[in-house]
Amino acid sequence: MALPESLFAPLVRIIDRVVPDTEARDRAKLELLKLESLQEIARVESSVSAIIAEGSSADPWTSRARPTFLYVMYIVILWALPMGLISAFDPTLAKAIGDGMNSYLAGLPEPLYVLFGTGYLGYSAMRQWGKGKGSDR
């Protein structure tokens, strides 16, 4: 049974009003807490299992997809730097290149930045977890 987070507090209030016995009320609240904890554990396990399966895949592309995506995003973002250096030689050109850089970066869809941030944080967290566990050397 999945217990949405928004239902937990109202259910506790209902238990407080409906169940007169203090001991029974505490047991019911404890069962709700257990259910909520199990649900959260299941959510985390499903997320981690997908990442572990991806990382341990025998297919080199699958196991390197996330880092490759990060490298591509680095290139996309860092492409603005050489454009800025070129503009240092001519202020008029600097304005035009600055406008071009802004247009270029603003033209990238917001979900791409979100995906980059999520992928970066997920990759970093799993690398750190693997190092702490000793399986990622």
- Where residue 137 falls among pLDDT bands split at 50, 70, 90? low
Average the pLDDT over 29-50 and give the result.
76
Annotated domain spans of the chain: 1-56, 59-137
For the ranges 59-63, 98-102, 127-131, the maximum mean pLDDT occurs at 98-102
- Where residue 96 falls among pLDDT bands split at 50, 70, 90? confident
Concatenating the DSSP letter of every residue in 80-127 gives: HHHHHHHHTT-HHHHHHHHHHHHHHHHHS-HHHHHHHHHHHHHHHHHH
Question: Whole-angstrom Cα distance, residue 122 to residue 26?
Answer: 38
pTM assigned to the model:
0.32
Q: Say what the pLDDT of residue 74 is.
A: 87
pLDDT beyond 80 at 63: no
